[in-house]
Amino acid sequence: MRRPRLLFVVPVIGALASFGVLTGAGAQEVPTLAAPLTIQKVVSGPVPAGTTFTVTLTCPEGNIDSGTHESEDGLSEATVTFNAAGNALGDNVFGFVGEGTCTVHETATGGATTVSYACVGDFNEDEEELPPTKDDVSAAGLEATTPCGTVGAGGVQVFIEEEEQVATVTVTNVFVAPAAEAVVVAPAFTG
């Protein structure tokens, strides 16, 4: 069975983006992001002190929420920087102002030996089970149950289709300790 597609309606998104929760007197409004995408970092091995990593989110449709909630226009690119421990040095959760296909790719690897990507997500719908990824079902004309697409050396695709969807992309960097240098021992000659 085909999952019905919900289209992003920009005026509704603006209203959703403005909606917030007030907790207590004088509390500030917290904006709600449509289709939140979290980018996180995992590092393994001896990471040199001061190393940083940059992960770029690219959406050719220009549908990344700019965060101002004052415009219907979105951004086509956003970045997040992580420190050597894998902690984000700024916002690492992004919302969207419309549908599109986005790519998450690490553009500064910090000299890691290997970089890999993983994506988990859900459209947050209560429907019968469908095949797990968009790639698996495209030939059958069905819709996927996860917004995660192709994962490869060039990053991971995320399909932005529903306001209620959620996704998390994890970028893992592995560092290998340098091999110990061989010690050459000169033979001692005795006379």
pLDDT in tens, 30-68: 568 899 999 999 999 999 999 999 999 999 999 999 876
- Cα 150 from Cα 152, distance rounded (Å): 7
Find out if CATH 2.60.470 is the number for domain 10-17+31-174. Answer: no
pLDDT on residue 145? 75
- Cα 167 from Cα 38, distance rounded (Å): 6
Residue-averaged pLDDT of the chain? 78
| Annotated domain spans of the chain | 10-17+31-174
pLDDT on residue 66? 80
Give 188's DSSP letter. P
pLDDT on residue 32? 80
Average pLDDT along the chain, 191 residues, taken 10 residues at a time: 40 38 49 90 95 97 79 86 96 94 96 95 66 48 75 92 94 88 68 60
pLDDT on residue 2? 33
pLDDT on residue 128? 47
pLDDT on residue 109? 95
pLDDT on residue 147? 94
Residue-level length of the chain: 191
Q: Name which of 157, 182, 48 is nearest 113 in CA terms.
A: 48
- Cα 67 from Cα 180, distance rounded (Å): 49
